[in-house]
Structure 1
Amino acid sequence: MSVMPSTAGPKRAVMEDPAATYRQRIAGELVMRETIDRRHGNVVAGRIVCLLATVGAAALAPRTAAAGVAAVGAAVFVVLTVVIARLEEQLRLRQRTLAYYEQGLARVEERWMDTAPRGEAYADPHHLYAADLDLFGRGGLFGLLCVAQTEAGRSTLADWLKAPADVAQVAWRQGAVRELSGMLALREQMWECGHQVEQEVQRDRLTAWISAPARAASPLVRGAALLLGLSAIPAAWCVLSAWLLPALAIFGAQAAFAMTYRKLTEEVSQRAAHRARELQTVASLVERVERARFACPALQELQQELHGELLARRRVRRLIWLVEWMDARRNPYFAMVSAPLLLGTQLALAIESWRTQHASMISRWVAAVATLEALSCLATYSYEHPENVFPELLADAPRPRLSAQGLGHPLLPAATMVRNDVALGEVQLLLITGSNMSGKSTLLRAVGANAVLAFAGAPVCARAMTLTPLAIGGTIRTSDSLQEGVSRFFAEIRRIRGVVGLAERSPFTLFLLDEILAGTNSHDRQQGGEAIVRALLDHGAIGLVTTHDLSLAQLAESLQPRARNAHFEDLLKDDRLVFDFTLRPGIVNRSNALDLMRLVGLKV
């Protein structure tokens, strides 16, 4: 039978309680922050005392000793200022670490929905399952998973959720996720690296910057720029000596050279600062990974791609140094010096040379950081849900298959979650009937969401799960569009056409059709629904269909053994509807629509 009582399956070994660990770390961070804050207050008070004491001592000291007293006091004041700056940086670090564990505890305690990233920028209204399975938006799967601090990492995670990976790629990710889930310190450090700067790593913009056509000047041009810049010194001497013609000739040559590269200088000045700060974050993350020790081949492979990049931050520091000098030209006093030295042009040429020289390295960095952050998201989810299991993917199965024991919805609270068993393979279709609010749509979303997790490389909300590669398509949440002039029914059949198209291209398709053709009359629903279901099954696809129309439920009987009926039921008890959300074989034998109408006060 494809519908069975839930049975226990294998669990992963639980190494530690994530909630207890997070609480312990939070308590430790609070103690450390309080200690540093107290020390910071003492040093600030000491600096004030130092300032007052220095002023008083210098005023009271003999004139010959006043300068020495002031110098000693100033030196102590500077040292205390440096100490204060370091303590403030430690406080910021402790605050970032505290935020990491507080957010983790909020996820474990199911308080994450209002503060988690929604990922709405990655939503596609025409995607065949993203909206149906609540991938994005408030309380979506993306928000539960995402701890990435850079746009590159978030974008990669969104891509993994929207596009199922093949078996080899899933196995690669699973290996990395298994190991990273036990590396809490590394995941915390990666989060802090991305969180410590305001500038996010914009993957598309950074990639566009490094892949832009090379405009690096030849050594001859850069040498000419340097010589022309240095010629400002003899030009100034000529002006002071009243030799105006040589000075005008030098300044004219400088102006002509600067105008030639004016456009390049302006573009570099506008773009390089943002990209440099992004690369500072990327380089920090690369160094963390380069220094880590991994056992699984997946992470070793990723680390090997970055081999030799341990000096990443040193290379980026040179770019930061160039950019800071470029920004300094905005100071009007510094501009008076930088203009005759052609500093802007020289810096623009140097930055472009840096970009061209390191383009391939930056590409590796961005790809590695994006992948690592996405893996860290899945590893964090794995760590925080030790009861979940990694699914088994079948690479060479002759037909599509999905089998899950104790399947639950990953977005539902554990206290209210009801688990069910689902098996699709030889039985290609489960046609599910049931009353309103009984759990039909939730089951479809549970199957789909766990399939998405499985193909992303994450553990699933089940006691055991086995499946083949599957393309996913669903019509669970469709709506009309006033702007496009599309009714809800037309939106549904257009989406169904896309799902059938998936099955036409590959029999390894999972379809999830909720309340199929509910927007039309019973006759058309029965005839159209039967044609759609038969087409999907004839192409070899597997899936679930829900309906209130009991006449359509007869279709499963005629399609045996390829199809089975299943249902959810409810009980009216003391003028109150009671649901157990348990999937049972067969067709439902009662409806609750009239009961619901009466419960809300309608006289029917």
Structure 2
Amino acid sequence: MLKQQEEIIAGYQDKIKEVTTDIDQTKKLIDQLSFLRIGLFLAEILFFVLLLRSADDSLRTLIQICLLLPVIAFVFIVRRQSQLDRDIDYKKQLLWVYQNEWNILNGAANGYDHGQAFESELHPYTSDLDIFGAASLFALINRCSTKSGNNILAKNFAEKSTRDTILRRQEAIKEIKDKITETYSFRANLHGYDPDKIEQIKIQLKHQLGAQLEFVKGSFLRFYVKLVPYISVGLILAAILISSVFWKVLALLFIIHTGWNVLLGSKINKVFYTFGGSSNLLNGYASAILWTENQSWKSSYILSLLDSKIPVSKEIKGLSKIIQNFDARLNILVGGILNALLLWDLKCCISLDRWYKSSSKDVISALDHLGDFEELISLATTAYNQTDWVFPVLADQFALTTTHIGHPLINGQVRVNNDFHLEAKPTVDIVTGSNMAGKSTFLRTLGINMVLAYAGAPVCAKTMQLSVFSINTYMRIKDSLNESTSTFKAELNRLKMILDNVVKDKDTFVLIDEMLRGTNSRDKYLGSKVFIQKLITEKTPALFATHDLQLADLIVDYPETVRNFHFDIQITEGEMRFDYLLKYGPCKTFNAAILLKEIGLTLD
């Protein structure tokens, strides 16, 4: 392990200890405040007893004033405890973020989504190159809590981009890498919430809320809801100061308000259903958006994501406050009193309507762009953690040259790196070698690093220069009982897909591992040969891994467009040793005879 990476791991360990200590201290403070609340409650009881026993009017007045003090202090302590509880929730998420980074760098699984939902055997390369699913590239890179972030990362791993976009993304990822210590707070503010909840809120804001709030757009209703607090307070004061008959008027008003609220209950519930209980979630998202707003961004890619001219974080906090008020209806007693006195639910709906008209479009856009920032942060975090990876050079002409390229999913302590380059014009490179010598791994190494490069990310190599290709692979072909598809038919379907793509996109790059396994050796050779000839005709660069040494002889007929490489074995005292290094020329040494001998079969 590189010394620089060891320092990064130690840095995460220090952060874990620091946040753990903060959480413990905050918990102690909350416990102290709990004891103080008990003390204030006992003090209130004491003052009440003194009030009952006191006969002195002046003393009674003093005690009555003292009765208010514990109540006021109690309210402040409750608010302080609520704030500390929120602080602990945030710090727990921050601790999770640091712990997760430490786990990944020490070989444990990433706690974020592995992208299994994006797996597809029909995709030109993602299944063969282990892009999605357990032990995949997505599982290594992903730091997205939102669905939009996961979708954007998956899209950039699975779809072809342009050179200009890739360069702009590289610039953005490098800029975020320089701010990496600030991104952990951003991630902590988004982690720990149900990702489906924010998607429901976005859908409601985009498509439903305007129609759902039609029932509060009447001018009379708005005027009356605005007036009703003054009416209720006036009736209470009149009942206390003038005549008890006003209590009856107030009771009648209670009944009317409650009935009105019941009649509109189904419409109010539609508005509340999606938003209810989401105040903390919205505050967390607002804090994350505030971070994006407070940075002095320079890269054009990031600046294009900040398309709002107003501070959206403030608008989301405004929505959060409305929802927090709306949540009062969850307490039947409190909600019932507030609706009877103030038509509370209608008041919240009117506030929500005003907010919707002024702020919803900017908020929807900002919530969508959170996923873009998460995706960039995922790649920037990888760039920060993997200190021996480099950002590739994007060539504008046909090129692929790399040194010390390794597979990013193989532990660095056992990973073997290779050098490789294409000629100035397309060639079909035939890679022969023994079983387990490294042919398949090398093809996947090249392909998966190309995927990283085209996402704008650093690659697992010392240097890499490449142009933009459309990657097509043929590696893990299997039958399907559900679709009544044999292995051979599945192979033919895959070959047809590649041939169609080669014709449509002249910048296609093909990786093939042992073609036509589902047929006899003669047809396999002839089919592989004609396929290679087709690639040569279409001027399509390819790496073709095979056990069939006859294919290496194609260099005789096509000396300018066919190259031979191999992975071999060394046999020492009957023991096989692999160095996993790519070498020029066809393979001369194979291990089948040795492996068969180990199970009792001897070849002459």
**TM-score, normalized by length of structure 2?**
0.84
Residue 320 of structure 1 aligns with which residue?
A: 320
Residue 375 of structure 2 aligns with which residue?
A: 374
Residue 29 (structure 1) aligned with residue 19 (structure 2)? yes
Contact 1:254 1:340 in 2 (8 A): no
Residue 99 (structure 1) aligned with residue 89 (structure 2)? no
After superposition, give the CA deviation of every residue in 1:46-102 in whole Å (9 maximum; x if it has no partner): 544555576578768983377666654455554444444443333333322222221
Q: Closer, same or farther in 2 for the Cα pair 1:278/1:101, shift >3 Å?
A: closer
How far is 1:180 from its partner? 0.9
Contact 1:567 1:585 in 2 (8 A): yes
Residue 407 (structure 1) aligned with residue 397 (structure 2)? no
How far is 1:135 from its partner? 1.0
The residue matched to 1:433 in structure 2 has which SS? Answer: strand
> Which of 301, 308, 311 is the equivalent residue of 2:310?
308
Q: Which runs of 5+ in 1 are unaligned?
A: 1-11
Question: What is the distance in 2 between the residues matched to 1:295 and 1:147?
Answer: 23
Residue 149 (structure 1) aligned with residue 145 (structure 2)? yes
Q: Closer, same or farther in 2 for the Cα pair 1:230/1:415, shift >3 Å?
A: closer
Contact 2:316 2:363 in 1 (8 A): no
Q: Closer, same or farther in 2 for the Cα pair 1:186/1:87, shift >3 Å?
A: same
Residue 241 of structure 2 aligns with which residue?
A: none
Residue 172 of structure 2 aligns with which residue?
A: 176
How far is 1:151 from its partner? 1.6
Question: What is the distance in 2 between the residues matched to 1:262 and 1:58?
Answer: 41
Contact 1:434 1:588 in 2 (8 A): yes
- Larger mean CA deviation between 582-591 and 313-322 belongs to 313-322
Contact 1:433 1:546 in 2 (8 A): yes
Question: What is the distance in 1 between the residues matched to 2:341 and 2:65?
Answer: 40
Question: What is the distance in 1 between the residues matched to 2:103 and 2:134?
Answer: 15
Q: Closer, same or farther in 2 for the Cα pair 1:289/1:520, shift >3 Å?
A: same
Q: Closer, same or farther in 2 for the Cα pair 1:491/1:556, shift >3 Å?
A: farther
Residue 269 of structure 1 aligns with which residue?
A: 272
The residue matched to 1:499 in structure 2 has which SS? Answer: helix
Residue 166 (structure 1) aligned with residue 168 (structure 2)? no
How far is 1:446 from its partner? 0.6
Residue 9 of structure 1 aligns with which residue?
A: none
Residue 393 of structure 1 aligns with which residue?
A: 394
Contact 1:566 1:587 in 2 (8 A): yes
Contact 1:402 1:467 in 2 (8 A): yes
Question: What is the distance in 1 between the residues matched to 2:379 and 2:102?
Answer: 16
One-letter amino acid of the counterpart of residue 367, structure 2: V
Q: Closer, same or farther in 2 for the Cα pair 1:553/1:353, shift >3 Å?
A: farther
Residue 519 of structure 1 aligns with which residue?
A: 518
> Which of 195, 204, 211 is the equivalent residue of 2:206?
211
Residue 188 of structure 2 aligns with which residue?
A: 192
Residue 140 of structure 1 aligns with which residue?
A: 136
Residue 450 of structure 1 aligns with which residue?
A: 449
Contact 1:150 1:202 in 2 (8 A): no
- Larger mean CA deviation between 490-499 and 153-162 belongs to 490-499
Question: What is the distance in 1 between the residues matched to 2:140 and 2:411?
Answer: 12
One-letter amino acid of the counterpart of residue 519, structure 2: T
Residue 239 of structure 2 aligns with which residue?
A: none
Residue 567 of structure 2 aligns with which residue?
A: 568
Residue 582 of structure 1 aligns with which residue?
A: 581
Residue 8 of structure 2 aligns with which residue?
A: 18
Q: Closer, same or farther in 2 for the Cα pair 1:25/1:204, shift >3 Å?
A: closer
Residue 238 of structure 2 aligns with which residue?
A: none
Q: Closer, same or farther in 2 for the Cα pair 1:337/1:142, shift >3 Å?
A: same
Question: What is the distance in 1 between the residues matched to 2:380 and 2:284?
Answer: 21
How far is 1:184 from its partner? 2.3
One-letter amino acid of the counterpart of residue 535, structure 2: L
Contact 1:557 1:564 in 2 (8 A): no
- Bigger RCO (CA 8 Å, 6+ sep): 1
**After the TM superposition, which residues 227-306 of structure 1 pair with which residues of structure 2 at under 5 Å, given as runs?**
265-273=268-276, 279-303=282-306, 305-306=307-308
How far is 1:264 from its partner? 5.3
Residue 89 of structure 1 aligns with which residue?
A: 86
After superposition, give the CA deviation of every residue in 1:314-356 in whole Å (9 maximum; x if it has no partner): 3223333444455544554435874898765665565456445
The residue matched to 1:564 in structure 2 has which SS? Answer: strand
Q: Closer, same or farther in 2 for the Cα pair 1:19/1:430, shift >3 Å?
A: same
Identity fraction in percent: 25
Question: What is the distance in 1 between the residues matched to 2:473 and 2:96?
Answer: 37
How far is 1:247 from its partner? 13
CA RMSD of aligned residues (A): 3.9
After superposition, give the CA deviation of every residue in 1:387-428 in whole Å (9 maximum; x if it has no partner): 111111112x1xx32111111001110011111111124252
**TM-score, normalized by length of structure 1?**
0.84
- Larger mean CA deviation between 587-596 and 272-281 belongs to 272-281
Q: Closer, same or farther in 2 for the Cα pair 1:240/1:461, shift >3 Å?
A: same
Q: Closer, same or farther in 2 for the Cα pair 1:150/1:577, shift >3 Å?
A: same
- Larger mean CA deviation between 35-44 and 118-127 belongs to 35-44
One-letter amino acid of the counterpart of residue 317, structure 1: K
Contact 1:430 1:566 in 2 (8 A): yes
Question: What is the distance in 1 between the residues matched to 2:282 and 2:499?
Answer: 44
Residue 107 of structure 2 aligns with which residue?
A: 110
After superposition, give the CA deviation of every residue in 1:154-198 in whole Å (9 maximum; x if it has no partner): 111111111132111111111111111121232112101102x52
How far is 1:490 from its partner? 1.9
Contact 1:152 1:201 in 2 (8 A): no
The residue matched to 1:212 in structure 2 has which SS? Answer: helix
The residue matched to 2:218 in structure 1 has which SS? Answer: helix
Q: Closer, same or farther in 2 for the Cα pair 1:44/1:283, shift >3 Å?
A: closer
Contact 2:222 2:350 in 1 (8 A): no
Residue 6 of structure 1 aligns with which residue?
A: none
Question: What is the distance in 2 between the residues matched to 1:247 and 1:84?
Answer: 34
Question: What is the distance in 1 between the residues matched to 2:426 and 2:41?
Answer: 83
Contact 2:180 2:380 in 1 (8 A): no
Residue 554 of structure 2 aligns with which residue?
A: 555
Question: What is the distance in 2 between the residues matched to 1:88 and 1:194?
Answer: 17
- Larger mean CA deviation between 403-412 and 330-339 belongs to 330-339
**After the TM superposition, which residues 65-80 of structure 1 pair with which residues of structure 2 at under 5 Å, given as runs?**
71-80=68-77
The residue matched to 1:132 in structure 2 has which SS? Answer: coil
How far is 1:600 from its partner? 5.1
One-letter amino acid of the counterpart of residue 387, structure 1: D
Question: What is the distance in 1 between the residues matched to 2:525 and 2:577?
Answer: 30
How far is 1:35 from its partner? 3.4
How far is 1:537 from its partner? 2.8
Q: Closer, same or farther in 2 for the Cα pair 1:601/1:343, shift >3 Å?
A: farther
Q: Closer, same or farther in 2 for the Cα pair 1:218/1:138, shift >3 Å?
A: closer
Question: What is the distance in 2 between the residues matched to 1:356 and 1:125?
Answer: 45
Residue 222 of structure 1 aligns with which residue?
A: 218
- Larger mean CA deviation between 410-419 and 279-288 belongs to 279-288
Q: Closer, same or farther in 2 for the Cα pair 1:337/1:47, shift >3 Å?
A: closer
How far is 1:238 from its partner? 12
The residue matched to 2:472 in structure 1 has which SS? Answer: strand
Contact 2:257 2:343 in 1 (8 A): no
Residue 122 (structure 1) aligned with residue 118 (structure 2)? yes
How far is 1:137 from its partner? 1.2
Contact 1:444 1:512 in 2 (8 A): yes
- Larger mean CA deviation between 200-209 and 530-539 belongs to 200-209
How far is 1:545 from its partner? 1.0
Contact 2:315 2:363 in 1 (8 A): no
One-letter amino acid of the counterpart of residue 368, structure 1: H
One-letter amino acid of the counterpart of residue 153, structure 1: G
One-letter amino acid of the counterpart of residue 401, structure 1: A
One-letter amino acid of the counterpart of residue 593, structure 2: L
Question: What is the distance in 2 between the residues matched to 1:79 and 1:331?
Answer: 21
